[in-house]
Each structure stands twice: as structure tokens, then as C-alpha cells.
Amino acid sequence: MSVAEPRRIALFRHAKADWPQVSDHERPLAERGRKDAAVAGRKLTDSGLTFDLALCSTATRTRETWKLAVHELAHRPKTVYEERIYEASPGELIALLNEVPDEVATVILIGHNPGVHGLAEILSGSADDEVRERMNRRGFPAAAFALLSFEGPWKSLEPGVATLTGYWAPSE
């Protein structure tokens, strides 16, 4: 892949989690979360993107979200379960994405708020006005995702270089 070709990123927040008496890291999905994760997978398919790499938090709710969503995709990307995504700040997530090999064109990152929402806002220097307005109005609820693109190598990903090209949240 040439670094001149656009890179694409999907930032995907885990679906609705339950609150049983377990550590935060081990919280499973709630019933609604299981349904929304599958719907989000179908909406990701509708976006037309084929992911080369999935970076998924090691938390139970993100792993369950990804397992249900990826089942809906036409192509199953290589998945890396990355503990650094759990409780990561937008800056830490950018540093992680800067490590992606340049032969990878399209990445999906499955993580948590506030990091994922903050990252979508920080990266998107430009956007379709309607898409940005929907994301600003809805925020980043459980199972939401934002689609971004930028040009250059992954190590050049920094605040403001991407374009927000799509956004979806449950009940849209």
C-alpha cells in the first residue's frame, strides 16, 4: 500500500455493558448491548469499508462487542487484543495508531469512552457538516462508531489531520 493512498479509521465504542459484581475490566455486555453490537456490525458493513486490522481493548465488553460485530462483516480482519486501549486517553490512542504498519490501509479500533469520542473529535480537522452535527448532538453512546480518513503514513496521524466521513449510533 502506498502512503499516498488514504488511510481509514473506524472508532467503535463498545456496546452497552451490564453492571454485575465484577471488576470494571470484566463487565460483560447487557442484553441490549448484544443486540446493538450486531446491528453496529451490519452498519459497518454498509459503510463499504473492509478492515485490514482490528485493535480491540482486552476488556470483556469490548471483546464481546467485537465478536458480535465482526460476525456481520464480509471479511474478518486480523484482530489484536491490546490492553493499552483500556482507559486510554486520546493521546495514548494516537500513539498506538502511530505504530500501525504502513501496509495496513484500514483500521478499526474498539474501545471505551471518553477516549474514543475524544479521539474522534481531536483527529477530525474537517468533516461533512451533517455528520459532525449528528456526532455533536448524539455524543458517543454505547455501540456508536465514527469513520475517519487521512493521508500519509500512520506515524503522521495527529490532531486535526483527519476528515470525519461517517458516524452512526444506535437509534439513528
Q: 119-148, pLDDT tens digit by residue?
A: 999 999 999 889 999 999 999 999 999 999
Torsion, Cα 162 59 48 10, to 10 degrees, reads: 0
Residue type, 89: S
Mean pLDDT of 29-57: 97
d(CA 157, CA 61): 27
**pLDDT > 90 fraction of the chain, expressed in percent and rounded:** 94
Mean pLDDT of 61-77: 97
pLDDT at 5: 81
